A and B are shown apart, each in its own frame.
Chain A
């Protein structure tokens, strides 16, 4: 591949007090791919997302987007450039109905500039566009679900709402922090094609997951984190065959289950 990487993470280190949540992590993200990031609990995955998207400052290293340094910029500037993220602990606006939740990102400068997902924001008013986006993500238009208060929505819909918030900005990159966790098998089964469709539309994705089997289905490449360090990077098969990964996940039924299937 000769094209320059869309996102470059160079030797990023993050220390909380004396603890290194991230230690010298580097990777490239190429345009149009889906990169999966896995790792045991507390291995620094969410911290990595926070570092890339400007929600916390780096201790060392740098992050480049299209060759320009973005680390050190405030979070809203980075999101404005099209590098968006979902929150592992979902952050909807609980006091607003689902569709009003989307009116807010549609009001953002980037959405006004680009017209939001597929440019729809330039056509209709924000309430209509937000219902359109929600429908694409599985909120049935004719039902009351899009009009429900976010505080009354079940997890599955909140996860979709997180994704919808990113899509409203017409993003270049979406970093999904565990959008599958907490979902039922059937909910995940309906989310997987959605992720594939986003990739086909040219959105580059980073997916952080504990659900390895579903992740391995959609991801082009997998990176493994353990104790804040990058263990390895490669295809799903390479990762599953790796001794260090087996060690990190030792005892985890999930890996054994996935490996049996492989």
Chain B
């Protein structure tokens, strides 16, 4: 009897279409067009359908929250993997954007569709100015400072009893109806997702990546690294402030909880799960992680345990993340061959 030992090896073949240069494809047939467009189409249509599929008001609200986290995750992934700045600034951005929108709505009487864009731009300017001093520094300083600001602002608001103190600012105007409310943020997520993806492949995006890769070489090329980091931080904080401004309009309330640590931490987990550096992956990560953490709400604080276990499992078993994994599966045939 022969031993049943048989050596096998995985062979991978590129399924890809002929690529002339990045971004320009030589399309040969409808099949190839579908191959290219289908994943994007599924993603866009899928996200656009979500509000229609949600059964209850509660779950529609969850979709809105998911989108806010998706923006934060996108902002985190962009800064961490394309500029080299590890940001824990989610809470800082949400809080700044949130309180700004609240002030604009309350004192100037601006409707949400005006106060949100304004709060996004002004908030991003404010956040960037606050973070400017630590931009020339390398290492963990940026992460630490982004984490400290929300704690600091929270205490200031509490101690000085400004901006509504611990009660927060109440009675903020809401959206005309729930469709506007939902589709506004969904379209924003899609716009920023494809916008950032485009940006990182353009020349300006290349400079961002160069700053991450080798900042000394960027300086030797006659470019100020602080200047480019400033632009990148502006873009990233704009995404966060947009989320914050939107958040206070759906809850019609801006309070200290807009500075909650969750906004800083969850994006990191979502990025790990989705696949760091892919931009789409982390957004999907947010779409998976936030509902799970909502489902586990019944377990009270115990859900942190589940949440930690999921994260741990992802780090241990699939450290590349969902997106990287499925991209590989999509682009390559895999078969076992006998050796």
Cα-based distance from A75 to B218 in the complex (angstroms): 10
Closest CB-CB distance, B140 to chain A, in whole Å? 21
- Check if A79 sits within 8 Å of B217, measured CB to CB: no
A87-B216, A91-B216 given as contacts; is B206 within 8 A of A110 (CB)?
no
Task: Return the CB mask of B176-211 against A: 1 if under 8 Å, else 0.
Answer: 000000000000000000000000000110110110
Seen from chain A, the residues whose Cβ lies within 8 Å of a Cβ on chain B are 53, 55, 74-77, 79-80, 84-85, 87, 91-96, 100, 103-105, 107-111, 126-127, 165-166, 168-169
- Check if B210 sits within 8 Å of A93, measured CB to CB: yes
The reply to whether the CB of B222 lies closer than 8 angstroms to some CB of chain A is yes
- Check if A108 sits within 8 Å of B221, measured CB to CB: yes
- Check if A53 sits within 8 Å of B223, measured CB to CB: no
- Check if B213 sits within 8 Å of A76, measured CB to CB: no
A100-B206, A104-B206, A107-B207 given as contacts; is B217 within 8 A of A93 (CB)?
yes
Please tell me which one of the listed residues B21, B210, B224 contacts residue A76 in the complex, with CB atoms under 8 A apart: B224
Seen from chain B, the residues whose Cβ lies within 8 Å of a Cβ on chain A are 21, 203-204, 206-207, 209-210, 213-214, 216-225
- Check if B214 sits within 8 Å of A92, measured CB to CB: yes
Cα-based distance from A124 to B286 in the complex (angstroms): 41
- Check if A169 sits within 8 Å of B221, measured CB to CB: yes
Sample of 9 A–B contacts (CB below 8 Å) = A55-B220, A79-B220, A87-B217, A91-B214, A93-B210, A104-B210, A107-B203, A110-B222, A169-B222
- Check if B206 sits within 8 Å of A109, measured CB to CB: no
In this complex, what residue of B is CB-closest to A110?
B222
Closest CB-CB distance, B124 to chain A, in whole Å? 23
Given contacts A107-B207, A108-B222, 5 further A-B contacts (CB under 8 A): A92-B217, A104-B210, A104-B221, A108-B223, A109-B223
Please tell me which one of the listed residues A85, A96, A166 contacts residue B210 in the complex, with CB atoms under 8 A apart: A96
- Check if A85 sits within 8 Å of B213, measured CB to CB: no
Cα-based distance from A66 to B225 in the complex (angstroms): 26
When distances are taken between beta carbons in the complex, the residues of chain A under 8 Å from B216 are 55, 87, 91
A contacts with B: majority SS = helix
When distances are taken between beta carbons in the complex, the residues of chain A under 8 Å from B210 are 93, 96, 104
- Check if B223 sits within 8 Å of A95, measured CB to CB: no
When distances are taken between beta carbons in the complex, the residues of chain A under 8 Å from B225 are 76
Closest CB-CB distance, B134 to chain A, in whole Å? 17
When distances are taken between beta carbons in the complex, the residues of chain A under 8 Å from B223 are 76, 104, 107-109
Closest CB-CB distance, B72 to chain A, in whole Å? 25
- 9 nearest A-B residue pairs (beta carbon): A79-B222, A105-B221, A80-B222, A93-B213, A91-B217, A75-B219, A108-B222, A104-B210, A110-B222
Cα-based distance from A105 to B210 in the complex (angstroms): 10
- Check if B218 sits within 8 Å of A74, measured CB to CB: no
- Check if B220 sits within 8 Å of A95, measured CB to CB: no
When distances are taken between beta carbons in the complex, the residues of chain A under 8 Å from B217 are 87, 91-93, 104, 165
A93-B214, A94-B213, A104-B206 given as contacts; is B224 within 8 A of A165 (CB)?
no
Cα-based distance from A127 to B217 in the complex (angstroms): 19
Please tell me which one of the listed residues B204, B213, B220 contacts residue A165 in the complex, with CB atoms under 8 A apart: B220
When distances are taken between beta carbons in the complex, the residues of chain B under 8 Å from A92 are 214, 217
Cα-based distance from A92 to B213 in the complex (angstroms): 8
- Check if B221 sits within 8 Å of A74, measured CB to CB: no
When distances are taken between beta carbons in the complex, the residues of chain A under 8 Å from B21 are 127
Closest CB-CB distance, B188 to chain A, in whole Å? 29
Closest CB-CB distance, A75 to chain B, in whole Å? 4
- Check if B203 sits within 8 Å of A74, measured CB to CB: no
Cα-based distance from A92 to B221 in the complex (angstroms): 11
Residue from A92, A96, A105, A169 having most chain B Cβ neighbours under 10 A: A105
When distances are taken between beta carbons in the complex, the residues of chain B under 8 Å from A104 are 203, 206-207, 210, 217-218, 221, 223
When distances are taken between beta carbons in the complex, the residues of chain B under 8 Å from A79 are 219-222
- Check if B214 sits within 8 Å of A165, measured CB to CB: no
Please tell me which one of the listed residues A77, A95, A168 contacts residue B221 in the complex, with CB atoms under 8 A apart: A168
Cα-based distance from A104 to B222 in the complex (angstroms): 10
Closest CB-CB distance, B305 to chain A, in whole Å? 37
In this complex, what residue of B is CB-closest to A104?
B210
- Check if A165 sits within 8 Å of B221, measured CB to CB: yes
